[in-house]
Amino acid sequence: MTRRRWIADVVSNNRAALTGEHAEHLIRVLRAQVGQEFDIAADGAIRAGRIVSIEAGRVEFELGDEIPAQVTAQLTLLLAVFKFDRMEWAIEKCTELGVSRIVPVIARRTDAHLADASAKRVERWRRIALQAAEQSRRASPPEIAAPIRLREAASFAGSPRIVLAESKTEIRLRDVVVPQAAGDLLLAIGPEGGWAEDELLLLRDSGWISATLGPTILRAETAAIAAVAIAISELGEQQLPQAGK
């Protein structure tokens, strides 16, 4: 049976710990006991871990041998802010698929209320990413950046840099993702209603490539998940996680 994996909050030599709500979930929901064994992600490595102490808000592990882990694809997702419940679902699923960084972007068609509230959602998004990373047996969660404006995001470095623009191109996403590319692949997904014309011009003038997922119009969260799955598959740096693991 596959052992459950936890991402440590505190690491010191051959000891690691879960703290706060993270620890309380293991204590109260999963009925943790001294002596139980888990896989522990500690400082980017996966190691065998055995519970050596349990107290309120803290579970401490003794760390053993390192366990081989899959390599995370170097894919940064620039995700225009949209309805928070759907965006949370996209963050969770893109984390499970293996994205390395998620940057929330304030776009022209991002609802003003959502744009104003987005900075306060970052910690929640990070918790969601942490839980999804543990569930999918990653060594670490993706970085969740603070929201930024598109003009700032347009200047990010990467190779290649791809923007999904469903109505502006016949180039398929899978045809512009370079397998085992050096450096980060950047992938930009627009908000509900898509990118504004001036935003697409800004990205084009900044050297971004426009690509499409096909003739159908997808919701923002569907497009994000489908695009990440295609990109990571084409990168060839890791196998997609198996369902139910």
| Range of the structural domain that residue 55 is part of | 5-67
Residues 57 and 82 grouped into a single domain: no
Distances (CA, A) of 196 to 77, 152, 208: 19, 16, 15
pLDDT recorded at residue 25: 86
Distances (CA, A) of 6 to 26, 46, 47, 215: 9, 9, 10, 40
**Would you call 45 helix, strand, or coil by DSSP?**
strand
* pTM score above 0.75: yes
Region 29-38: mean pLDDT is 90
Tokens of 119: 């900075």
Q: What pLDDT shows up at residue 14? A: 92
Q: Is there a contact between 236 and 179 (Cβ–Cβ < 8 Å)?
A: yes
Mean pLDDT to the nearest integer, 43-48:
86
Q: What CATH number is given to the structural domain containing 190?
A: 3.40.1280.10
Q: Return the pLDDT at 239.
A: 38
CATH code of residue 46? 2.40.240.20
The domain boundary, picked from 28, 50, 67, lies at 67
As a whole number of angstroms, the distance between CA 117 and CA 125 comes to: 13
* 207 φψ region: left (φ > 0), alpha (ψ -120 to 50), beta (else): left
Amino acid at 72: T
70-90 pLDDT, tens per residue? 666 789 999 999 999 999 999
3-state secondary structure of 128: helix
Residue-level pLDDT at 110: 95
Mean pLDDT of 62-69: 86
Residue 63 to residues 22, 157, 163, Cα–Cα distance (Å)? 18, 37, 42
**Cα–Cα distance, 131 to 179 (Å, whole number):** 29
SS3 200: helix
Residue that finishes a domain, picked among 42, 67, 92: 67
Do 212 and 91 sit in the same domain of this protein?
yes
pLDDT score, position 167: 66
pLDDT at 198 over 80: yes
- Are residues 152 and 216 located together in one domain of the fold? yes
Task: Say if residue 29's pLDDT is above 80.
Answer: yes
Specify the pLDDT at position 183: 62
Per-residue pLDDT of 109-168, as tens digits, reads: 999 999 999 999 999 999 999 999 988 888 889 999 999 999 999 999 887 899 998 766
> 108 and 166, same structural domain?
yes
Q: What is the pLDDT of residue 237?
A: 45
Domains held by the chain: number: 2
